[in-house]
Amino acid sequence: MPFIQRGTCPINVSIVEVDPKVLNELECVTNHTLANIIRQLSSLSKHAEDMFYELFSETNEFYNRASRLQQRLDHLRVKVTQLDATVEEVSLQDIHMRKPYISSTSYDQQVVSCLTIPVAVFQSKNKCDTPQR
In a domain, 38, yes or no: yes
Residue 1 is assigned to a structural domain of this protein? no
Predicted pLDDT of residue 43: 86
User: Is residue 19 one of the residues assigned to a domain?
Assistant: no
- Judge whether 63 lies within some domain: yes
Range of the domain at 42: 25-118
Phi, psi dihedral angles at 107 (to 5 degrees)? -110, 150
- Report how many domains make up the chain: 1
Strand intervals (E) in 10-119:
none
pLDDT in tens, 43-73: 889 889 989 998 999 999 999 999 999 999 9
- Asked, for residue 11, whether it belongs to a domain, the answer is no
Q: Does residue 28 contact residue 22 with C-beta atoms inside 8 Å?
A: yes
pLDDT digit string, tens, across residues 82-101: 877 666 677 777 777 777 77
User: pLDDT per residue over 5-55, tens digit each?
Assistant: 777 776 788 888 888 898 998 899 899 999 989 988 888 898 899 899 989
pTM of the entire structure? Answer: 0.62
Domain contains 16? no
Residue 5 lies in a domain: no
